[in-house]
């Protein structure tokens, strides 16, 4: 492989991989606290992108019941992204309050929560389809502002290695989020309490830590990360419709299984590994790119069933 192509694939892989990472962290957080996979996470990803799209003043050119409508105002993109992700976090909170918590209170089997989350995913997707429609919605190409060049040259004038500016932004933002989240979880009182709940809810209770509050916080954080990932990906491509998040939802699962279920650094490494693997798929096979994550998953799990960084025995609450 030529050096230029190599560097290009590397940067593109890191960029998409870093979004996979923050998206997958949303799964990981909930898994480590509740021992369930929230299949609605992919739908939250889609909603996050929609929220930001409308918050910057985007008009719905889909054919849903809200066709041709938009908000009467448009926020600056950074603010819209933040608010859109917060709203996605709010969706996470609502999902827990209305669906997961009642099940928990009845002491239902975690498998039921899993099935419920699948149902919620369908519900959210169908709701989006009804309200917005199935059409593609695109962010303006200069959504990050005119200061960001469409492509940045990582090579020389003779041997250009162009990488899209959006990719660099996505990588920077995602990695920043990973660092902040890691600090939050490892260094702050809230983070330590969250880990206490994840390790042993009863012990956490004995220390005065309210499990339910932290579960709610986890759903919020998870939704926020999902929504932010959705917005970032949508600015790089577009919102392909209500099913936008489905592929990412599945890939996110591959990421967390690959990294080790419930393991935070594992989700980051897993995301980057899958992003890179996809980026290095030769052009002739790019139609099969989506299968790469799962092929990789299959191979790695044969060698390391606990995932790349996972503990031998999965501990959960």
Partner 1 sequence: MLELKNLCVNYGGIQALKDVSLTVKTGEVVCLIGANGAGKSTTLRAISRIIRPKSGSIIFNNTDVSRFEAAHVVRLGIAQSPEGRQVLSRQSVRDNLEMGAYVRNDNEINADIDLQFQRFPRLLERQNQLAGTLSGGEQQMLAIARALMSRPKLLLLDEPSLGLAPIIVKEIMGIIDTLRESGMTILLVEQNARLALQHADRGYVLEAGNLIFDGNAKDLLDDPRIKKAYLG
Instruction: Give the residues lining the site for partner 1 (CB under 8 A).
Output: 189, 192-193, 195-196, 199-200, 202-211
Alpha helix (H) residue ranges in 96-209: 101-105, 110-131, 165-187, 189-199, 201-206
Q: How many Cβ atoms from other residues are within 10 Å of residue 218's Cβ?
A: 24
In 3D, which of 238, 168, 213, 220 has the Cα closest to residue 10?
168
CB nearer partner 1, residue 68 or residue 106: 106
Tell me, rounded to whole angstroms, the distance of Cα 316 from its chain centroid.
22
**Could you tell me the smallest distance in angstroms from the CB atom of residue 189 to partner 1?**
7
- For the record, the structure tokens of 199 come out as 């390790």
Q: Closest approach of Cβ 195 to partner 1, in Å?
A: 6
In terms of C-beta distances under 8 Å and separation of at least 24 residues, what long-range contacts does 86-89 make, across chains too? 86/224, 86/227, 87/47, 87/48, 87/51, 87/227, 88/44, 88/45, 88/47, 88/48, 88/51, 88/223, 88/224, 88/226, 88/227, 88/228, 88/230, 89/219, 89/220, 89/221, 89/222, 89/223, 89/224, 89/227
Comparing CB distances to partner 1, the nearer of 195 and 304 is 195
Q: Considering the complex, what minimum distance in angstroms separates the CB of residue 210 from partner 1?
A: 4
Q: Which is nearer to partner 1, 16 or 264 (CB)?
A: 264
Token readout for 292 is 């790469």
Both tokens assigned to 15: 């960029």
Q: Which is nearer to partner 1, 61 or 211 (CB)?
A: 211
**Distance in Å, CB of 101 to partner 1, minimum:** 14
CA dist., res. 189 & res. 201, Å (int): 16
CB of residue 311 to partner 1, shortest distance in Å: 9
CB of 230 to partner 1, least distance (A): 31
Q: How many CB atoms lie within 10 A of CB 174?
A: 28
Phi and psi at 111, nearest 5°, equal: -60, -35
* Shortest Cβ 191–partner 1 spacing (Å): 10
Tell me whether residue 136 or residue 206 sits nearer to partner 1 (CB atom).
Answer: 206
Total number of residues shown for the chain:
317
Check residue 315 and report its DSSP letter: -
d(CA 152, CA 161): 8
Closer to partner 1 by Cβ: residue 63 or 200? 200
Which residue, 141 or 202, has its beta carbon nearer to partner 1? 202
Is 37 within 8 Å of 103 (Cβ atoms)?
no
Minimal distance in Å, beta carbon 256 to partner 1?
18
Nearest residue (CB) to partner 1, 194 versus 254: 194
């Amino acid at each position: 492989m030529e050096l230029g192509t190599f560097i290009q694939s590397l940067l593109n892989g890191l960029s998409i991989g870093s979004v996979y990472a923050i998206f997958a962290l949303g799964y990981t957080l909930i898994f480590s606290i509740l021992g369930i996979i929230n299949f609605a996470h992919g739908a939250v990803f889609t909603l996050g992108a929609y929220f930001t799209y409308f918050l910057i003043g985007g008009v719905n050119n889909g054919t849903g019941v809200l066709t041709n409508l938009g908000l009467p105002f448009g926020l600056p993109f950074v603010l819209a992204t933040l608010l859109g992700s917060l709203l996605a976090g709010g969706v996470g909170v609502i999902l827990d309050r209305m669906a997961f918590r009642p099940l928990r209170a009845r002491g239902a089997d975690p498998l039921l929560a899993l099935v419920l989350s699948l149902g919620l995913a369908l519900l959210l997707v169908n709701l989006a389809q009804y309200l917005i429609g199935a059409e593609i919605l695109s962010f303006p190409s200069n959504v990050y502002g005119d200061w960001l060049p469409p492509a940045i040259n990582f090579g020389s004038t003779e041997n250009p290695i162009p990488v899209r500016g959006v990719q660099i932004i996505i990588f920077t933002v995602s990695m920043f989020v990973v660092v902040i989240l890691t600090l939050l979880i490892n260094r702050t009182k809230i983070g330590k309490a969250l880990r206490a709940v994840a390790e042993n809810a009863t012990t956490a209770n004995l220390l005065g830590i309210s499990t339910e509050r932290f579960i709610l916080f986890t759903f919020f954080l998870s939704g926020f990360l999902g929504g932010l990932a959705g917005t970032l990906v949508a600015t790089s491509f577009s919102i392909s419709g209500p099913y936008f998040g489905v592929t990412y939802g599945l890939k996110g699962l591959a990421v967390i299984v690959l990294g080790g279920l419930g393991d935070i650094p594992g989700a980051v490494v897993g995301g980057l590994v899958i992003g890179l693997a996809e980026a290095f798929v030769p052009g002739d096979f790019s139609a099969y790119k989506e299968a790469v994550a799962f092929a990789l998953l299959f191979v790695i799990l044969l060698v390391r069933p606990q995932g790349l960084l996972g503990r031998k025995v999965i501990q959960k609450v």
